[in-house]
Amino acid sequence: MKKYILGRFIRSIFSILAVVCIAIVLVYTLIPREKIFNVDPNISKLTGDARTTYMYTKWRDLGYLDYQQQADMCKAYSDDYTSCMAGEGDYEEVVEAYESEGYTIETLKSGLVFAYRNYTIPELVGRFFSNLIVIDNPSAVQDASNPDLERSYYIENGPNGIPALKCTGCQYQYQLYVNGSFPFIHQNIIKLNFGISFPTYSGIDALEVINKGQDKTASEDITFPNGTTGNSPINLYTCQYKATSTLDHIDQSHFDDNYANCSYNYTAPAMTTLSYMFGILSLVIAYAIAIPAGIMMARKKDKWQDKLGMVYINFMIAVPSLAFIYFAKQIGLMFGLPDKFPQFGFSDIRSYILPVIILALLNTASIMIWIRRYMIDQSNADYVKFARAKGLNEKEIFNKHILKNAIIPIVNGIPSSVILCISGSVITESVFAIPGMGKMLPDSINAYNNNMVITLTFIFTALSVFSLLLGDILMTVVDPRIQLSTKGDSR
């Protein structure tokens, strides 16, 4: 068993890497890189050299190519920077050095040159994975203006009075801490780096876009590290090191060290949290409706209960999801429910009722048909005939024997259903203008937000692959007869 799980885990990792590699190749080689500026509001304000410099800088930041301005070229290869910048001295040798390394040299209208080299496919993939995992440590911060920075770990109470692992010299001050927010135990030691988002949510870390709170900042009374108190939205657990040269008087009035670059608390949950809330609530309701209905249909096969259930199933399967959503939305309007999520906002329960019910109903048909099918199939098994021969009534047979076996295939899909709730519902979130994860991938594709596309591809692939593994393991827990290990493997 252990050997099988380890093998599946390793194969899962390779599957994720393969999918992400394909996504990187598609995004960076088949889509014209000029398209990333289609919805960039800044590009239309620039002309001439400023526009060219801006474009190549963005391409470099996003990992398309290596880009060097003349100043960079002269600093790297010239012994006389001033004469090199004037196009004299060893300027020609500097240009030839870059050309010999595969760079293309182009000249701006100002007469200055720049060099660029497109990354090859192995370089694109290698750069992505080499920068993917970032491990914070006491040597992470390199600040020339603070040469005496102490570098060590230590234990100290956090803002909530609970002991936390803190660090000086690390990028994040709080390395490991506990608070009342799910998943309750948090860490800043290991981070995944998917690059920055662009052009939408420009300049923000791709993971932060989907994990940070939304709506307005939420202020509360806090005690700052230097002992002063105030009403602030700052989340002290997120504070990162800020170079001494960039500290301002506000930082110095609140902090007694350089860990002054902090994120804010918000009144509304993050995209991932919001989508998960909708997904879990709708999933619970769907199973609560579908399982009893499927059992009833199986017990009353070919009777009016079964026929009515089949009418419902056929209706839900035949009607397009979008049409059903708008139909249900019109019914909800008759009861005073909002047709758009922002109408009442995050804090009003009425904002959640209609989308949750719609998502639940959309999932019921498939669960009902499979429960019915598995139970009818099991009802013809020999153990059921034996139970009837012993005199057990039909209710006992269905609830204690048939359901126990029929539910096993359904159990296999539960981890996927639960875990993939985080991905959100594209159609429902779009119709109700819910700021969740559902719209992120199509919106990112339409905006040519490459780093966001790759980030979401990685997340969704990883969740899908590992949820399948969890489903198989859960089946062995429900039914000990199922063995995942190969013959002869008892471990």
Range of 256's domain?
A: 133-192+219-264
Residue from 169, 336, 389, 125 nearest 259 by CA: 169
* Residue 178 host element (H or E): strand 174-178
Residues 317 and 381 in one domain: yes
Looking at residue 135, what DSSP letter applies? Answer: E
Does 52 fall in a domain? no
Which pair of structure tokens corresponds to residue 7?
Answer: 């093998």
Specify the number of domains making up the chain: 2
Residue from 370, 397, 221, 206 nearest 297 by CA: 370
Domain boundary (240, 264, 288) is at: 264
Distance (Å, whole) CA 394 – CA 299:
8
On whether the CB atoms of residues 484 and 5 are closer than 8 A, the answer is yes
Does 206 fall in a domain? no
Positive or negative, the CA dihedral 233, 235, 238, 243 is positive
Distance (Å, whole) CA 429 – CA 165:
39
Please give the pLDDT value at position 378: 80
Residues 337 and 240 in one domain: no
* Residue 222 host element (H or E): strand 220-223
Residues 326 and 257 in one domain: no
- Helix or strand or coil: residue 1? coil
Residues 254 and 391 in one domain: no
CATH number of the domain encompassing residue 361: 1.10.3720.10
Q: Consecutive sets of 10 residues in the chain, 491 residues long: mean pLDDT of each?
A: 78 91 92 91 91 94 93 90 90 92 93 94 93 93 90 92 94 92 86 91 89 88 90 93 89 90 89 88 91 88 90 91 90 90 87 92 90 83 78 75 75 75 78 87 90 91 85 73 57 48
Residues 314 and 345 in one domain: yes
Please give the pLDDT value at position 490: 47
Q: What share of the chain is helix, strand, coil (3-state, %, to 5)?
A: 55, 15, 30
Please give the pLDDT value at position 49: 92
Please give the pLDDT value at position 299: 84
| Torsion of Cα atoms, 283 then 289 then 291 then 293, to 10° | -150
On whether the CB atoms of residues 338 and 350 are closer than 8 A, the answer is yes
Q: pTM (2 decimals)? A: 0.85
Does 76 fall in a domain? no
Could you give phi then psi for residue 132, rounded to 5 degrees?
A: -70, -45
